[in-house]
Structure 1
Amino acid sequence: MDLDSDTMAGVIRRLRRAQGQIGGVIKMIEDGRDCADVVTQLSAASRALDRAGFKIIADGLRQCLADTNGTADADRAQLERLFLSLA
């Protein structure tokens, strides 16, 4: 599965955002910040990771549906397993 450059750029932005949020969570824990603040930031990082994964899978599904060379069924099954692993 090859992602187009626009999709890949969006996924990379989301992953970089999550990377920054995770770094922030580590710093918050090291600084002894309030538990609610840490969990809120951790939740935001988790959502960013989930959205990146779903974007990759959505683009893969789009490509599979457009595929007519006979491998679409196998690709769809693989994408379904990936989707369920994120759910």
Structure 2
Amino acid sequence: MKNAAQAPADAAAPEPISAHRAQHQRDVSNRLRRIEGQVRALVQMIEDGRPCEDIAQQMAAARKALDKAFYRMMACSMMEAAASADAGNDLERSTRILEKYA
């Protein structure tokens, strides 16, 4: 009888994550958690009736932090693409992502 927690034998095993990629993932996750706190603080500022200029300043800071997290994540994507067996196509895909969302 199979244990429900065991994966089927024919299921693809997840690809191992390189130490470099794991560090990037931790970094981006930490940045997003900080941004989440900034957004919660923004909601509180609005509910407290803080001046619009103060709120706008904090919104700009949160937006800039989100941009930095995005570019950090894309740097990881570009580094992985450069190291891949199909570097040309992978770099082109990462470039299209940057063009579309940056």
TM-score (norm 1): 0.83
Q: Would you say 1:50 and 2:70 are equivalent positions?
A: no
Question: Which residue number corresponds to residue 59 of structure 1?
Answer: 76
Deviates more, 1:44-53 or 1:74-83: 74-83
Measure how far apart 1:74 and its partner are: 2.7
**Structure 1 runs of 4+ with >4 Å offset:** none
Number of equivalent positions: 84
CA distance in 2, matches of 1:9, 1:15: 10
Question: In the alignment, is the contact (CA less than 8 A) between 2:81 and 2:94 conserved in 1?
Answer: no
CA distance in 2, matches of 1:17, 1:84: 26
Matches within 5 A, 1:1-87: 4-67=21-84, 69=85, 71-87=86-102
Name stretches of at least 5 consecutive residues in structure 2 with no aligned partner: 1-16
Seq. identity, %: 33
Name stretches of at least 5 consecutive residues in structure 1 with no aligned partner: none
Across the aligned residues of Structure 1 and Structure 2, the Cα RMSD in angstroms comes to 1.6
Measure how far apart 1:65 and its partner are: 1.2
Q: Which has the higher contact order (CA 8 A, sep 6+)?
A: 1
CA distance in 2, matches of 1:34, 1:84: 36
TM-score (norm 2): 0.73
